[in-house]
Every structure is written in C-alpha cells, then in structure tokens.
Amino acid sequence: MRPHPGLHEAIIDRELFEEVQQKLDAHVRRRGKARETVAHAPLTGRIFDADDQVMSPAFAYGRGGKLYRYYVTASLQQGGRRAKGDDAPRRVSAATLEASLLAILGRLLPEHSGPPLLLITRVELHATSLELLLPIRCLTRMRPRLLPGEIADADPADPSHLRLALSVRFHTRGGHTEITGGAPAASKPDPVLIKALRAAHTLLPTDRTGTPCLEAAPETSYQRRLIRIAFLAPDLQAAILEGRQAPELTLTALMAEDLPLSWAGQRQLFGALAA
C-alpha cells in the first residue's frame, strides 16, 4: 500500500508512513522465516503423544525475537485443555527433544551413516518413557549398547520394525523442556548453586563441638531463605558439590519452594539424583 494523490490532506506525514511500512515488511519477512523453520521440523508426521495423537510443529518468539520451536499435541493447538492430573508430555521443545534423540542414536548406532533422525519411523512420548520405532535391521547392531532398563524388540504390530523403549521423563518449566533418565548424565557442577550452599553454611554457626547451633534468625529475608539450604539432606548436598543434582534442584527452586523439614520430602520434591 502506497500513498497517492487524494482530495484531502494527509493524516500522517510521509516519513512516519514509510517507517511503519518498513516495520510491517520486516514483520512479514520474520513470520515467513518462522513458518519455513517450522515446516522443516524433522519429526513432523512421526511424533505422537501417549494417546496416539499426532504432535505438530509450532513456534513462539522470545525476547529479542528469538524463535523457539515446539512439538504440540494437535488437540492443544486447536484450543483444547489438558485433563487434570495428566502428566504425559503434550508440548516439548523441538530442539531439546531432537538433540536428545541424536545423542541416543549416536550412542546406540555409531556406525550409522546419514541423517540419524530420518532413521526413526515413529516417536511416542509417554509419561515415564520414550519409545521409538526403527527398522528391524538396527537390532543386531544395538543390543550390546543397550543400557539397563532399555528394551529393544520386534514391534508386535509391525515385525519389520523394532520398538526401542527408554525410561525417560519430560519436565517443562517456564517453557523449557528437560529430559531426565536414559543414559547416565555427565556431572554438571552448578557454580551458582555450590556458592549458595557454602554461603548458607557460613550463616549457620556451630558450637565448640562443631554441632550447628542457630540461636537467632538471620537479619535479612534473603539470608533467612538462603540458610535453609544448609538443612538439605546430606545426599542432596553431596550431589550438588559433585554436580550430580537432578535438573529440578536449582537455586531458583530452592529459594522459591517451601522446603520440607524431612529429608524424604526434600528428595521427593526435587526428584531422583542424577546418575
């Protein structure tokens, strides 16, 4: 749309009009690029949720216009709602899932040539497992590399394919997808969390025998929340120092949650430790 001679005076000046047109053009180009990105989602048509509903590619923009890709259950994209108590994954980060699948296939089939994701016939996301359908020829090369808890057998519905079941869980927090379980995770010390744990202990005085002895609450509200970390279960504290903490165990979560007094309750709140 461009200005042309008319019978009335212009409502806005030419400079402002051109500036708006440039922004509109940039918006159209960005949306076009996003649609192209989503259209090339490699698992399109091959990924399903726990109820056998297809999960379609979708996208959203973050700060600074960064594009985030997702796979979302079709019914949710059409305005549906999750059932109460439903813990099956219905929306996952495409980048996180695809990276996890690449790592799994790279471990199980290191000799495979070609794009690994194209080898997958079907992906199923369940509450506590991830299941893949692969050509049956992969079975003989895979068995020696299976980890405890991983199962690979011919698919009963299609003997030409094997069904690979892996014990993994999907966690979505603040739009970010985390996948736990499966292959043992490498230790990842969290320097911020470790520093906070040490700071919490400095706030906790001890008596002459070295026993913690807190006679008064810390002065600030921040310190009062921070000192609670010193009362975490010993195995959780050890995991933090060794970088084996579960993904749920972050400083943000520790500062925000009302920590249970019992160690068992703390372990339940923050999930299993990383292997």
| One domain, residues 105 and 218 | no
> How many structural domains is the chain composed of?
2
**Domain span at residue 194?**
185-269
**Helix 234-242 and helix 191-202: axis angle, to 10°?**
130
The domain boundary, picked from 171, 202, 236, lies at: 171
Residues 198 and 262 in one domain: yes
Task: Give the H or E element holding residue 70.
Answer: strand 67-73
Instruction: Give the C-alpha separation, 238 to 245, whole Å.
Output: 9
* Report field, pTM of the whole predicted structure over 0.85: no
Note the pLDDT tens digit of each residue in 94-129: 988 998 898 888 888 888 888 889 999 999 999 888
Same domain, 82 and 152: yes
Report if residue 21 sits inside a domain.
Answer: no
CA dihedral sign of residues 239, 241, 247, 252: positive
pLDDT, mean of each 10-residue run, the chain (275 residues): 60 75 62 51 93 90 78 86 78 88 87 87 91 88 76 90 88 63 64 92 83 80 89 88 80 84 81 45
Asked if residue 197 and residue 165 are part of one domain, the reply reads no
Q: What is the pLDDT of residue 182?
A: 56
Of 253, 250, 252, the residue nearest 240 (C-alpha): 250
Identify the pLDDT of residue 273. 45
Based on the domain organization, do 195 and 115 belong to the same domain?
no
pLDDT tens readout for residues 217-243: 888 888 888 988 998 988 889 889 988
Rg (Cα) of the chain, in Å, rounded?
26
